[in-house]
Chains A and B, each alone.
Chain A
């Protein structure tokens, strides 16, 4: 196993969060498309009524678990786009932007979970 470093840890987490978010999105959309053919009631009203039955503490925890991959992927995506303009490509730039992304994504995920 190669030594853990911010560079490839964040790169791997970017791909992992992207895959997880996309899998969830695909699963929801495909379930919505296929549900009428299978006879399974799956629409906005059904989803919101199921969510309403979950206890508040579990809802806040679940919201953070869903929000954090999203905010990390968005902010790290912006970091990738900054690199694509050939800025911040030095080791210092990579680490500074990396820590900024980690901080911003944690704070914004906490804020979204408490909305």
Chain B
């Protein structure tokens, strides 16, 4: 099927006719003026625009490959699953027995760290250095760390000097 498409008269015309190529270049969806569909890149090359600022979707960022470290690799994955699994009995205990200092204390630590790891994955996926710049990526990571620290402090203070997380949810739900 790909062979038929490659040799059909319509795509052959699109590949060779300069006016059709330039039309594809102008109309193709692009990020900040950069194009990355092959027909458009051929047209760009044909019209002399070979600069990486035109052909590359993301800015190239000089990147030193870090030495492999299990702390950031498989141990990180294990830790994330351990936290997720532990949340199930924690929520069950919280729902069944209500307020309890141990359950609330654990929830106030496990939920923020679980959320932090989720947010960190989103920063890695959507705000990586190629997209947000090296300093943008670092700013986001450090902002997240600061927010998580504040959240942990807030949960601790709420659990010790106020009614506790489980009791808050029960009271707010029945209010």
Contacts and interface: CB of A to CB of B under 8 A. Distances in A.
Interface of A: 15, 18-19, 21-22, 25-26, 28-34, 43-44, 47-49, 51-52, 63, 74, 77-78, 80-81, 84, 115
Given A32-B158, A33-B157, A81 B85 contact: yes
A44 B162 contact: yes
The B contact surface, by secondary structure, is helix
Contacts of A18: 115, 118
B175 A26 contact: no
A77 B117 CA distance: 14
A81 B154 CA distance: 29
A48 B168 CA distance: 8
A26 B163 CA distance: 18
Interface in B82-131: 84-85, 87-88, 91, 111-112, 115, 118-119, 122
A44 B160 CA distance: 12
A49 B174 CA distance: 11
Contacts of A52: 175
16 contacts: A15-B122, A18-B118, A19-B122, A26-B115, A26-B148, A29-B151, A30-B151, A32-B154, A33-B151, A33-B153, A44-B163, A47-B168, A48-B172, A77-B84, A77-B87, A115-B174
B64 interface: no
A48 B175 contact: yes
Given A32-B157, A33-B157, A19 B112 contact: no
Most buried by B among A26, A28, A74: A26
B93 to A, nearest CB: 14
A81 B83 CA distance: 11
B116 to A, nearest CB: 8
Contacts of B84: 77, 80-81
A29 B88 contact: no
B167 to A, nearest CB: 7
A85 B167 CA distance: 34
A68 to B, nearest CB: 14
A25 B112 contact: yes
A51 B172 contact: yes
B118 A19 contact: yes
A84 B162 contact: no
Most buried by B among A22, A28, A51: A22
A95 B140 CA distance: 35
B72 interface: no
A28 B150 CA distance: 11
Interface string B134-175: 000000000000011011011101100011000110011111
